[in-house]
Every structure is written in structure tokens, then in C-alpha cells.
Amino acid sequence: MQFDLSPELAELQATVRKLAQERIAPRARQIDETDEYPQDLYDLFVDAGLTGLCVPEELGGAGAGIFGLALAIEEVAKYSNAAALMLLLTRLPTGPLLIAGSEEQQRRFVTPVATGAARAAFGLSEPQAGSDVMGIRTRARRDGDDFVLTGTKCWMSGIRQADWYCVFAKTGPVESRAHDSVSAFVVERDRPGLSVGTIDRKMGVKGVDTGELLLDDVRVPAENVVGEIGGFRLAMLGLNAMRPIVAARGIGLAEGALMYAVKYVQERRAFDRTIADFQGIQWKIAELATEIEAARLLTYRAAWMADRGQFTKESVPFLSMAKYYATELGVKVSGEALQMLGAAGYMKDHPLELYYRDAKQLTIVEGTTQIQLGLIARGVLDRDLWWD
Ligand SMILES: Cc1cc2nc3c(=O)[nH]c(=O)nc-3n(C[C@H](O)[C@H](O)[C@H](O)COP(=O)(O)OP(=O)(O)OC[C@H]3O[C@@H](n4cnc5c(N)ncnc54)[C@H](O)[C@@H]3O)c2cc1C
């Protein structure tokens, strides 16, 4: 067993840490207040080669894997979860193509994301079907060599900047709950019939929009099918492999929040001493620091597993644990850190109220906490996770 980062990953971590401290931290509050897409930070990520982190070198990426991307996201999320989401979006929509796309699809669609020439978004959720993914109603009807897509996707992150969308649609009967009734498609933004609908008014993670994708008889060639027809499994594999990446947003946020609060309580005085001198506060710091390290271990192991291709059913409980624990921890630590600042924590002069609002997104996206708990329990019941 080896707990040290490789020299390459340690260097990546140090580089992104510096970038995050110098360039991202000063922008975080502004992004939240203006709710404008931080194009400057996207350009920064492209220049630093971070948009291709988890894309293999032969496709124009850095080949740092899911581990490398998770490490970078952890650093960025210490200061801005919106910026961390921008990095996450280099993998979420490209994941199904990297797992099962043809070489031609990978070159046409994934390489431009890696180099910064294009952006993409992921369309699985629909107004009536979030956790219940088999309830999607977007249809893809075969017509000669083409497919014609009709339906509405919602809550899609990065929708306005995306040049193409990874869209899941029913190729079997709409009412069917059979996995082979759903297929994945690449749909380019300029296809006739495609439009962006309502943009959501969100509680946090502002600056990177979520919104509706409207598909009104959008025609795509069969070569835009990702993997095989009926390849719904791709959605699940793609999301399984994403668990450590979402988890990294949670641990980075928790680390950033706790570091901020610790500095504050070491300065703030009450009852003739600093607040940090109170044992009640010290125990809280110790408890949260321990949980952060536990979440980091779960997350790093999950990333290591995902990079070894361990994101099929047997690995699900380990991947889901990282996502569940690290994102719930983000909510817990940001709330406790805010409390340590008292009234100051509630004010926008300090970043903790922003962390607190941002954290809540993490327990909902890409499989809610309850869905992760169900998957972990299923893993134990099926003995995928067992201790003898
Ligand atoms: C900011 C943001 C960004 C998003 N970005 C994207 C994106 O880019 N692409 C995309 O496709 N989707 C995206 N989503 C959607 C997200 O994936 C869904 O919100 C999520 O899957 C939950 O679905 P839902 O909101 O319909 O909740 P529901 O499925 O309606 O669930 C409601 C509640 O019931 C609970 N619940 C549901 N089923 C069970 C069960 N079996 N057991 C116990 N509890 C259960 C849930 O945990 C939840 O608490 C985004 C959402 C948000 C908030």
C-alpha cells in the first residue's frame, strides 16, 4: 500500500494550489455576486492544461486520470465551487465517450474539450425523472441512417457554454424501464431544432448556469450514437466513474471552510482569550479535521479505483461512499465553520455563507445522498462489500 502521491501528481497539486490561491480565490465572491460565467478562469484552465487532465495523452490530454482531475478540483474547490464545476464538466459529458465511444468520436468530440476548443454538457435528468433515470421520456426515433430526438432535458450544468451535449434518450418504447431501451447521443449545439430553454435561478454555485435543453425533432446521424444502441449502462458507468470527482468538490470545500474558520478563531477574542483557546472549539476543529482526512482517503481510493477501470457494479459501494461522505461533509463543515464566525459568518464580508450555499448542491447532483446510500446498502447486501 502506498499513500504518497507520485512526483507528477504532487507537482500537479502544487501548481493548481498556487493557481487557486492567486487567481481563483480573489474571483470567488465576484462570480457569486454577478452570476456571470467566469470566462477568464476557463481561459486560465485551458492555458494551464487543466481542461485535458483526465483525457489520455493520445487524445490531446494530460493523461493524469480521474485522480489527477480530482486533485486539481480539490485545490480549486477550496476557494470556488463554480470554478471546480467548470473542471468537472471536462469529464462528465466526455465520460461515456471515453468509456465506449469510437476513436473517431473521441477525436471529434473529446479532444476539443481537452484542448479548450470546445465545451460540453451532460443531459440525463428530465423534469419528471431525476433519480429515477429510467423514467426519462426524451425519444430518439430511428429514421433511415439518422435518429430524431424529441424531449426536454433539465438542470444541465454549463448549458449555455456547451458546444455539444451528451444526451440520453429512449430508443425503445418510452414507457419501457428496460435498460436497453435507452441510448446515448452526441448532439451538437447547432443542430436545427435544438434550443436552450429556461435558465434556473440557483441558490449557489452561481456563474455556471444550469437550465433546460429543448429538443424539437433534432436530427443526428447514427454515427453520433455513443457505444451501442441500448447503451444506457454507459450513463451509469460514466456516473460511477465521476463519484470521486464530485467528492473532490466536497473535500476541497470543507478544507477551505475549515482553514478560514481556524484562522478567524485564532484572532477573535472573547472572555479574555481567543476563541481557539476554548476546548469546545478545539474539539470541533479536531472532529472536522478527522472527518476531512477520512473523506480524502475515501475519495483518493475511489479515484485510484476508477482509473483502474473499477467502476462496474462490484466497485459501486466504494465509489458511492466517497461521493456520499465527502459531499455531506462539505455541508457539515461549511455550516460548522460559519457558526465559528458567529454573526460575521452570516455576512457576505466572509466567504462561509457562500460555501454553505454551494455545498448543498453537492449532495443532490449526480446521484443524491439517498441514492448513494441505497447503492452502498445494495453493495453490502450483495456482498460486493464484505469483510471476510
Ligand atoms: C445545480 C444542479 C446541477 C445539475 N446538473 C445536472 C447536469 O448537468 N445534468 C443532469 O442530467 N442533471 C443535472 N442535475 C440534476 C440532478 O442530477 C438531479 O437533481 C438528481 O439526480 C436528483 O433528481 P431530482 O432532483 O429529480 O430529485 P428526485 O429524484 O425527485 O428526488 C427527490 C428526493 O427524493 C429522494 N429519493 C428519490 N428516490 C429515492 C429512493 N429510491 N430512496 C430514497 N430517497 C429517494 C432524493 O434523494 C431526493 O432527496 C443538476 C441538479 C442541480 C441541483
- The closest of 345, 358, 334 to 264, measured between CA atoms, is 345
What distance in Å separates the CA atoms of residue 298 and residue 309, rounded to the nearest whole number? 17
CB 306 within 8 A of CB 327: no
What's the confidence (pLDDT) of residue 234? 85
DSSP β-ladder status, 120-123 and 164-170: parallel
What's the confidence (pLDDT) of residue 64? 97
Summarize pLDDT for 161-187 with one digit per residue, the tens: 999 999 999 999 999 999 899 999 999
Pairwise pLDDT comparison (232 vs 153), residue with the higher score: 153
What distance in Å separates the CA atoms of residue 329 and residue 338, rounded to the nearest whole number? 14
Q: In the numeric block, which cell numbers belong to residue 316?
A: 459501486
Query: Which atom of ligand 1 lies closest to the CA of 367?
Result: 21
**How many Cβ atoms sit within 10 Å of the Cβ of residue 202?**
17
pLDDT at 231 over 90: no
Check: CATH 1.10.3720.10 for 233-381? no
Q: 183: CA distance to ligand 1 center in Å?
A: 20
Angle, CA of 120, 125 and 127, to the nearest 5°: 130
Q: 121: CA distance to ligand 1 center in Å?
A: 16
Query: Which atom of ligand 1 lies closest to the CA of 368?
Result: 47
> Which residues have CB under 6 Å of ligand 1?
121-125, 130-132, 155-157, 202, 205, 210, 361, 364-366, 368, 370-371, 374
366 has catalytic annotation: yes
Query: Which atom of ligand 1 lies closest to the CA of 202?
Result: 1
DSSP β-ladder status, 210-221 and 146-157: antiparallel
DSSP state of 129: B
Fold classification of 120-226 is Butyryl-CoA Dehydrogenase, subunit A; domain 2 (2.40.110)
Summarize pLDDT for 335-366 with one digit per residue, the tens: 999 999 999 999 999 999 999 999 999 999 99
Tell me which residue has its CA closest to atom 48 in ligand 1: 368
Summarize pLDDT for 96-120 with one digit per residue, the tens: 999 999 999 999 999 999 999 999 9
What mean pLDDT is reported for the chain? 97
What's the confidence (pLDDT) of residue 235? 83
Query: Domain residue spans in the chain?
Result: 7-115, 120-226, 233-381
Phi, psi of 149 (to 5 degrees): -100, 135
What value does the mean pLDDT take over residues 320-344? 98
Distance of CA 182 to the CA centre of its chain: 23
Query: CATH second-level architecture of 7-115?
Result: Orthogonal Bundle (1.10)
What distance in Å separates the CA atoms of residue 379 and residue 312, rounded to the nearest whole number? 11
> 279-307 vs 316-340: helix axis angle to the nearest 10?
150
Q: With 0.85 as the threshold, say if the pTM is over it.
A: yes
- The closest of 253, 222, 278 to 337, measured between CA atoms, is 253
Q: 131: CA distance to ligand 1 center in Å?
A: 5
